[in-house]
Amino acid sequence: MAIIYKDGKPVVVPSSEPGHAPVHEPHDEIPPAEQAGVSRRRFMRVVFLNSMGVFTLGAVGTFVVMFWPKKVGSFGSTIKVGDVSQFPPGTVTRIPEGRFYLVHTLPEQGGGLLALYWKCVHLGCTVPWRDAEDGTYSGKTYKGIFRCPCHGSQYIITGQNFAGPAPRPLDTMQVTVSGGQISVNTGKITKREEAKPSDQVKI
Ligand code: FES
């Protein structure tokens, strides 16, 4: 026995009745057109959700790139020090945020700019500049010295070591001058065996 629908009303039909074709329950089959509609809707939903996912990821990525804190103006990054006119020849200026001294040597000392890392090359103490003391290196006397408070290493204005246990000159950082503005890359540190005039950036 089976139930078919005629004009919207259920009609009972014996399934074994001769001459009748096998009867299918109405919910057994979904018309092809309806199936296509369901598949299309599902496909559109998947496409929409994927698009939203890609858009959200892109927006989050852009936000992170724009607002993630960058190392600007601190040790390890490039620091804008100022205009060259602020640093006349013969001056040593302490730049705490970069942990270096900006040195502008006199013409007879090379006449250029140096960024000297203030870390003593012996065991790493911070080396202060002493303007009132003199140092002698290679037969010449230099006004002002760097003297390490830990074990007494001493360096002249170019960073060249001349006394104490320091095995080599103070390290330098990369100096760039563009449009009269001085920048120092504190992430680019160079070790030296000897301080040379060619270490200095001429302005
Ligand atoms: S750490 Fe400077 S002399 Fe030893």
* pLDDT range class, residue 197, cuts 50, 70, 90: very high
117: CA distance to ligand 1 center in Å?
A: 14
pLDDT in tens, 34-74: 666 667 778 778 777 776 766 566 565 554 444 454 445 79
In this structure, are 163 and 90 located in the same domain?
yes
In this structure, are 144 and 60 located in the same domain?
no
Does the CB atom of residue 149 touch ligand 1 within 6 A?
Answer: no
Instruction: Decide if pLDDT at 94 tops 60.
Output: yes
Coil vs helix vs strand at 90: coil
Does the CB atom of residue 20 touch ligand 1 within 6 A?
Answer: no
In this structure, are 106 and 152 located in the same domain?
yes
Pocket probe for ligand 1: among 116, 119, 148, 170, the residue whose CB has the most ligand atoms within 8 Å is 148
In this structure, are 96 and 61 located in the same domain?
no
Which of these three, 15, 35, 67, is where a domain ends?
Answer: 67
Which of these three, 67, 91, 111, is where a domain ends?
Answer: 67
How many domains are there within the chain?
2
Share of the chain above pLDDT 70, in %: 70
98 lies in a domain? Answer: yes
45 lies in a domain? Answer: yes
Q: What is the rounded average pLDDT of the residues 79-107?
A: 97
pTM more than 0.95: no
CATH number at residue 115: 2.102.10.10
Closest residue (by CA) to atom 1 of ligand 1? 123
pLDDT in tens, 142-196: 999 999 999 999 999 999 999 999 999 999 999 999 999 999 999 999 999 999 9
The residue segments making up the domain with residue 44 are: 2-67
128 lies in a domain? Answer: yes
Instruction: Decide if pLDDT at 33 tops 80.
Output: no
171: CA distance to ligand 1 center in Å?
A: 14
39 lies in a domain? Answer: yes
In this structure, are 38 and 103 located in the same domain?
no
Does the CB atom of residue 163 touch ligand 1 within 6 A?
Answer: no
Which of these three, 32, 67, 102, is where a domain ends?
Answer: 67
In this structure, are 137 and 172 located in the same domain?
yes
Instruction: Decide if pLDDT at 27 tops 80.
Output: no
The minimum-distance atom of ligand 1 relative to the CA of 124 is 1
Instruction: Decide if pLDDT at 18 tops 90.
Output: no
Where is pLDDT greater, at 5 or 140?
A: 140
In this structure, are 51 and 122 located in the same domain?
no
Does the CB atom of residue 71 touch ligand 1 within 6 A?
Answer: no
Name residue 128's amino acid: P
